[in-house]
Structure 1
């Protein structure tokens, strides 16, 4: 999940001692994480990837599924190791000055990419997930916790409206996650 139950409770103003709805809150956070990752067309969790491209791109850039790239452990073309490439880590791109030729039939990359999520963070390996993604998860969770169909709330002089433009994510959540969306 893009946040922990404890952090979400803190941001939502729920007492840390109140565990009555922890199961429901966990489900909402998992659903919010899934919706955000689906919208962004990527996973944010730090993991190992093995990508196979069956043809070169005829260009100098090879777009990988996961990013940011933490480490490329193996790069092969037609089963032969290569090292004449550079990584554009934050974009998940491998650059090769000579390009990725169209005749190169099997380009295989084994690499580690993604962010250390709050639930996976340790003192030795601190969280690297951007806070805006964590906040987006909590905001979407808050929307899911509301009564279905409610589009506005009023508390005293404060009025807040929530709209959904049909893609499943509220506008505030979209604005937070759009910089991390895979566009290609």
Structure 2
């Protein structure tokens, strides 16, 4: 397996884990867009928050906010009128060191993907449901609903655990 192939698997698995968690996990600066309300508190999607670098309501910069317990407080709320507003927040968030169990999860999935790619069975190995050695036999899941898109697809239980542990980006449209 080439270094480029391993790097591609690492990128794909890391993205899948971040997607399942609903937040970036690793430390970085991200810009989030979402809907504003007249409420004074705005819950920020990615935790833990290190700092808020900028905030804007409908493209107009605001500086009269305070970061309190992972939420932004602003006396006048998070809209310029009673109509919906678009809030843009640039924040530095995430963990400085990724927890060992998350690193292990990513490495395990990358190793599985690499092993399957080396064996030439990357496209079908995720469908193997049984293997019998005596009088050799293999069984594959042939239903479309049970088939995995690839070996790096995270099981629902793992996705749920990551989402519960790291929170979610609910309330914001996305990050860039």
* Bin of the TM-score, shorter chain as denominator length: 0.5 to 0.7
Report matched runs for 1:19-168 at 5 Å.
Answer: 22-53=3-34, 56-75=36-55, 78-83=60-65, 85-89=66-70, 93-96=71-74, 99-101=77-79, 103=81, 105=85, 107-116=87-96, 128-144=97-113, 145-146=115-116, 147=121, 148=125, 149-151=127-129, 168=153
The unaligned stretches of length 5 or more in structure 2 are 133-145, 171-176
User: Equivalents in 1 of 2:104, 2:90: separation in Å?
Assistant: 31
Q: Greater relative contact order (Cα 8 A, min sep 6): structure 1 or 2?
A: 2
Q: Which runs of 5+ in 1 are unaligned?
A: 1-19, 117-127, 155-163
* Structure 1 residue 102, shift from structure 2 partner: 6.5
1:70 Cα offset (Å): 0.7
Residues 140 and 173, structure 1, Cα contact 8 Å, conserved in 2:
no
CA apart distance, 1:166: 5.9
- Aligned residue for 2:159? 174
Q: Is the 8 A contact 2:46 2:169 kept in 1?
A: no
Q: Could you tell me the TM-score, scaled by structure 1's length?
A: 0.55
Report how many aligned residue pairs link the two structures. 142
Q: Aligned-pair RMSD on alpha carbons?
A: 3.8
More strand by share: 2
Between Structure 1 and Structure 2, whose CA radius of gyration is higher? Answer: 2
